[in-house]
Amino acid sequence: ILGGIDDSNVAAGRCSRYFDDTLKFWRRWSGQSQYTGRWREMVTRSALALKLLTSRKHGGIVAAATFGLPETEGGERNWDYRYTWIRDASFTVYAFMRLGYTDEANAFMSWVRGRLDDCCEQTEKLGILYALDGHAELPEEHLDHLSGYGGAQPVRIGNEAYKQVQLDIYGELMDAVYLANKYGDAISHDGWQHVVRQVDYVCEHWNDRDVGIWEMRGGDQHFLHSRLMCWVALDRALRLAFKRSLSGPFERWTKVREEIHDDIWKNFWNDDLGHFVQHKGSRNLDASMLLMPLVRFVGANDPKWLATLDAIEAALVRDGMVFRYRNDDDHDDGLAGEEGAFVACSFWYVECLARAGRVEQAHLEFEQLLRYANPLGLYAEEFDAHAHHLGNTPQALSHLALISAASFLDRKLGGGQALWQP
């Protein structure tokens, strides 16, 4: 407990009681977890990290608790992650509900509904990220008088990503809405009207260029992941509507869903290379492809998917750590310096292996990743070549991916099917 010598709110004699009360709270909260698998300690640690990143007042979850911790030591890949990304929505709802923390999942969805209300009231499109209080404008400033960890510059506060076009967010949003309704309360009439508006937007814009999931600063492209998540937005909206007997322009939605499906197979599968590619006209791989079977666009044992998984292993996987992409002559993300391996992608890789039936390999890779955690059982955004942590920490997406991989792998090792499916 910190306080000035004259601070009347600090009573040193009560510190022991405060400590005991705090310990009871966290033990009681962690004891609510429904996870009983092999990795209870690490899954519980991840859940605790997510809880600590959650605003009790607003319900949103920040991407990380820090800024100024670079992805390359001393480099410019140095961002402010103290905001809530819409992209994390489906991962968050899945993780909390899978562990039995329905209050936290519902609080997060309440925060999301608030952002949808704001969109409709202000006739604006959905934002990429928001402050915890829902504030949408987050101008990026350079603090030139400061250096980040390892001398990294510039130190940024705010995040220019709020101005970007990232079409994948609609898929993550709709997946979250679908999961919340499948395993929680039914969507309200007004909530469904908000959904219809967002899905209609996808119908109009799915074929646009954007910066993609990785917020590339090297120019807009037709990214596979963005196209994939537009398909998810339509697929989940249609599933939800049929489940709840809701009304909407279903003929149009079905037609567009089929168009996107066909477009992905026509324009993002490269016969010469024998795998999917990052964006139209590219020859590059991208670890976001690992989400293709996880969102059930393609079967986990489809021959073309397995060929893509093999290609990702050969090009992007090192000692169980997965790089998002490779910067080379054919690909430039618009930033100086090299990337580290991405923690969340590494756990997605484990889940893809398990879904493809390579359960023993998935188990070994997962155990290796657990050894890369810091002494507190936490993960930053990335690893360097020696598994040292890079980027802001603790990173919510890293821990969300760990929970998902642990839950699925537990079931497969036990010979059962995953309990939770879209």
Read off the pLDDT of each residue in 208-228 and give the average, rounded to a whole number: 93
In a domain? residue 293: yes
In a domain? residue 131: no
Model pTM greater than 0.85?
A: yes
Task: Name the pairing type of β-strands 321-323 and 317-318.
Answer: antiparallel
In a domain? residue 420: no
Q: Is the pLDDT of residue 206 over 70?
A: yes
Q: Is the pLDDT of residue 5 over 90?
A: no
Is residue 175 very low, low, confident or very high in pLDDT (cuts 50, 70, 90)? very high
Work out the angle at residue 176's Cα, subtended by the Cα atoms of residues 41 and 219, and round it to the nearest 5 degrees: 100
In a domain? residue 418: no
In a domain? residue 89: no
For residue 244, the surrounding DSSP H or E stretch is: helix 224-244
- pLDDT given for residue 420 in this prediction: 47
Q: What is the pLDDT of residues 247-298, one digit of tens each?
A: 999 999 999 999 999 999 999 999 999 999 999 999 999 999 999 999 999 9
In a domain? residue 283: yes
Is residue 416 very low, low, confident or very high in pLDDT (cuts 50, 70, 90)? low
Counted domains in the chain = 1
Domain residues for the domain of 409 are 44-55+113-121+166-331+338-413
Q: What is the pLDDT of residues 329-359, one digit of tens each?
A: 455 655 656 789 999 999 999 999 999 999 9
Q: Using CB atoms within 10 A of its CB, is residue 40 exposed (0-12), middle (13-18) or buried (19+)? A: middle
Q: What is the pLDDT of residues 120-129, one digit of tens each?
A: 777 678 999 9
- pLDDT given for residue 422 in this prediction: 45
- CATH number of the domain at 381, please: 1.50.10.10
Q: 61: which residues sit within 8 A by CB, 6+ positions away?
A: 50, 53, 54, 55, 84, 88, 92, 108, 396
Distance (Å, rounded) from C-alpha 175 to C-alpha 167?
14
CB 283 within 8 A of CB 330: yes
Distance (Å, rounded) from C-alpha 366 to C-alpha 292?
20
- pLDDT given for residue 308 in this prediction: 99
